[in-house]
Amino acid sequence: MFERIEAEFASRLGRECLYVPSHRLGLFIALRHWMSPGQRLLMSAISADEILFLVLAAGLRPVIAPTNPRNGNIDTRAMDGLRFDGVLATHLYGLPDDIVALGGMCAQRGIPLIEDAAHAMQTTVMGAPVGAFGDAGVFSLSKHPGAAPGGIVAMAQPDDRPALQALRTRWLSRRFPLAELGVLAKVIARNAVSATALGGPVWWPAQALGLNERREGHRIALRRTALAPRLAGGGMECPGLDALDAWVCADNHRYRMRQGSLIEAYGLRRMKMLEAQRGRRLAGVHRLAELKTVAPAVLEQLDQPLFRVPLLVEDRERAIQRLRRRGVIVGYVYDPPFDDYAPGLTEASPAPEASRWWARHVLPIDPLQAERALPILAELSSPALHNAP
């Protein structure tokens, strides 16, 4: 099962591909395969909550990289003196990391480069697809395609497939057909609502009923007292997903569940819609790029159908509220940066100011929602600039 989705990605990437029930499970097994507990992983300060917990679950030490304020990714120009045994590129919102520089650095050191391509399914660098530069690229079917939870691990060497399959089997949980139907129904409803102005009216009752994941600001609660004993071993052992499941599962509580043919069929259907959406997504990118608040790197990527277009605005929280009333739901805000969110669990960035500035001001907008959002976005002001070269 899922051979057709694997073949679809293999044809796009020119790589051996393995299906997993979620991007986060794919990223975990990639970290477990290419790195060893106790090693140090260089990663962005700006990414989803569960990514940090996946790194910790794999027994790795997160080394937080400086942030490039033009795109929110790793600043490869400011990494002198950092020690690390592997690199995780993020490609935030579909804006590519400096993947050529990172790849060269990893090749020179003989260490793995893993690409988190969840936001970058349609992004290319020098004509080649993101996710095909490192030892592994891990994709999400729930982002660009809007499919039910699912993911792909694309590997540079086909010989890695048996080991990744074994890790997938090791960490899968049991399948519950009724739960699978519930997940599928929720995704179909979400896709239907997001195409209309009903996003705001639906969000409010969902929040009141506790259907949205509880958060402290834009992050889930760290719960350090509960987390600490589950990380016993000082990073020299692999806590695993069972120990950190309560943190990793945020917004996707079935991320490890075995899946059936209905999920595969819906995933294939949504994949076929990608190219049909490409023109609309590009048009939205171009419209949003006309705003004075657009992140500078977007202007260099106007040929990319970005997952989100990051704007940098002065009063983001007020803008989010106004957009919600207009039916535009803003998600994928990663504030504060990881080293401020989880001090002591990460090795802090040597230059944290840029990541704090980005996290405080970024407003990611779905380019497919650009026309609905523009009347509000056009009124927003830019923040004081971060001093960056």
Q: Which domain holds residue 359?
A: 275-377
- Report whether pLDDT(178) > 80: yes
Residue 179's pLDDT band (cuts 50, 70, 90): confident
> Is the alpha carbon torsion for 74, 247, 194, 8 positive or negative?
positive
In a domain, 387, yes or no: no
- Report whether pLDDT(161) > 60: yes
In angstroms, the CA 137 to CA 87 distance is 12
pLDDT (mean) for 51-55: 97
Output the domain CATH number for residue 163: 3.40.640.10
pLDDT (mean) for 92-107: 97
Taking the model in full, what pTM does it have?
0.93
The per-residue pLDDT for 210 is 53
The per-residue pLDDT for 184 is 86
The per-residue pLDDT for 212 is 65
Tokens of 48: 């989803």
Residues linked to residue 114 through DSSP beta bridges, in sequence order: 88, 136
107 and 214 inside one domain: yes
- Which residues have C-beta within 8 Å of that of residue 228, sequence separation ≥ 6? none
Between strands 151-155 and 136-140, the pairing is: antiparallel
In a domain, 221, yes or no: yes
The per-residue pLDDT for 206 is 55
36 and 139 inside one domain: yes
50 and 174 inside one domain: yes
- Report whether pLDDT(38) > 80: yes
**CA distances, 63 to each of 52, 337, 356 (Å):** 11, 12, 16
**Tens of pLDDT, residues 342-355:** 999 999 999 999 99
In angstroms, the CA 358 to CA 207 distance is 26
**Tens of pLDDT, residues 277-329:** 999 999 999 999 999 999 999 999 999 999 999 999 999 999 999 999 988 99
pLDDT (mean) for 267-271: 91
Domain-terminating residue out of 274, 300, 316 = 274
The per-residue pLDDT for 197 is 62
- Report whether pLDDT(380) > 80: yes
Percent of the chain with pLDDT strictly greater than 70: 93
Tokens of 382: 């830019």
329 and 342 inside one domain: yes
Q: What are phi and psi of 28, to 5 degrees?
A: -60, -45
- Report whether pLDDT(364) > 90: yes
H helices of the chain, in order, are 3-13, 23-34, 49-57, 99-109, 161-171, 177-194, 199-208, 224-227, 240-248, 261-272, 274-289, 316-325, 338-341, 353-361, 370-377
Domain-terminating residue out of 249, 274, 299 = 274
In a domain, 107, yes or no: yes
Q: Does residue 171 contact residue 151 with C-beta atoms inside 8 Å?
A: no
Q: How many structural domains compose the chain?
A: 2
**Tens of pLDDT, residues 201-258:** 655 555 554 556 778 899 999 999 999 999 975 445 789 999 999 999 998 999 999 9
248 and 305 inside one domain: no
Domain-terminating residue out of 274, 304, 324 = 274
- Report whether pLDDT(268) > 50: yes
Geometric angle at alpha carbon 344, from 343 and 347, rounded to 5°: 90
The per-residue pLDDT for 235 is 45
Residue 384's pLDDT band (cuts 50, 70, 90): confident
293 and 203 inside one domain: no
pLDDT (mean) for 146-170: 95
Going by C-alpha positions, the residue among 206, 318, 184, 321 that lies closest to residue 261 is 184
- Which residues have C-beta within 8 Å of that of residue 209, sequence separation ≥ 6? none
